[in-house]
Chains A and B, each alone.
Chain A
Amino acid sequence: MGDAAIKIGGKRKSVFKDKVMEILPDGGNLNACLTCGACASGCPATGLAGMDPRKFLRMAALGMDEEILSSDWIWMCTMCQRCVYVCPMEINIPQLVYNARASIPREERPKGILGSCDAALANESGSAMATPVDDFVFVVGDVLEEYQESQPEFADMQAPIDKPGTEFVINQNSREPVTEPDEMVPLWKILHLVGADWTYTSKGWAAENYCLFLSDDEAWKHLTKQTAQAAEEVGCKTFMNTE
């Protein structure tokens, strides 16, 4: 790759990597790297911000905590896990990245991700667009009515919210109800035609979860729990995540 050589200044110990190893099953195998480069050669983030997954792991192993934690690359790895899949030692680099994100003070993490997480915490929707529950309920009802009339073959189609005891609870990315509500309809039609017994929930209806990407464990858990509890309350058998 012709990367600049990694310079090691004095004796250092990787506090960061050791901490991450403590919380991962089998330590995420973070000490097992053979430096084969399979991860880096198939990673689309290789070369961005002068970094690649192998280099990131080597730097962590060498205790270069400051350098890796100050690299914007931790926001350019999508945590897609392809490197784990191709790695002969199943080394969990994305978990290292996730924890690197978590070690940055919350308010210094990228504004867009932070804002989307905070928006989701603003009300009981869990929506990254801060869409209130009432707005969601209104849009769904309004669009449904419109299609029941304009496409009479679907006059009986339903898009229930908080219907008790259904087979499925389905969530919905905020982009549809907020910016392109017509895109919800094909999904409803398919569910209608196959005779699926389903419902949305009012609380926690939004499918996206930017708190996960922000590495905010508490907030991530809060949003997931909010949705899971809503599904439990209506008593569905299967939760279907559309995101």
Chain B
Amino acid sequence: MRKTFGDPIAEDIRFVVRSVVGEENFIDMTPNKSNNFCCGGGGGFLQSGFKEERLAYGQTKDNQIQTTKADYCIAACHNCHAQIHELSHHFGGNYGVVHLWTLICLSLGILGPNEREYLNDDLKQVNVFHPESEM
């Protein structure tokens, strides 16, 4: 997103994230915005067959995330989500990796039991919308 629209848009997204998780729960990575590191899922890397190199590339991102000590990392795109999710398990950080839409709906109290695939145990049972519809 910042590549297409630049850093001002990154600020808008931060406004959304802060509103949803609360100011005290928002931690930015360093470096960030246009200076941030790619996670290594992009450019076709996920399908290129060079798995070992892809994980080595992603270690930069994983270090950056683990340094924040945050419980969750928000990934807004699919390539990133798939890659960072794998990094979290591979390097043992075991932080959750969630789509932004999951957190928006959780904060609004409209996230059902079957829409929580990427929430960890700490949030899995929190404020479940229509728990009886669990499959």
Contact = CB atoms under 8 A, between A and B. Distances in A.
A80 B101 CA distance: 24
Contacts of A115: 47
Interface residues of B, number: 44
Contact of B44 (A72, A85, A150, A210): A210
Nearest to A187: B101
A180 B81 CA distance: 13
Give the secondary structure class of A's interface.
helix
A44 B38 contact: yes
A189 B106 CA distance: 11
B61 to A, nearest CB: 7
Nearest to B41: A78
Contact of B37 (A82, A113, A193): A82
B37 A186 contact: no
A230 to B, nearest CB: 20
Contacts of A151: 110, 112, 129-130, 133
A85 to B, nearest CB: 5
A100 interface: no
B22 interface: no
Given A153-B110, A189-B105, A76 B50 contact: yes
Contacts of A182: 112, 114-115, 117
B111 interface: yes
Given A80-B42, A180-B117, A182-B117, A150 B130 contact: yes
Nearest to B33: A85
B60 interface: yes
A106 to B, nearest CB: 14
B77 interface: yes
A52 interface: no
Contacts of B130: 150-151
Given A80-B42, A183-B115, A189-B110, A112 B47 contact: yes
A128 B42 CA distance: 15
Nearest to A153: B110
A186 B111 contact: yes
B99 A76 contact: no
Contacts of A214: 44
A186 B115 contact: yes
B78 A175 contact: yes
Nearest to A85: B34
A48 B56 contact: yes
Contacts of A141: none
A44 B44 contact: no
A24 interface: no
A45 B47 contact: no
A80 B53 contact: no
A75 B102 contact: no
Interface string B35-49: 111101111111111
Contact of B43 (A150, A185, A213): A213
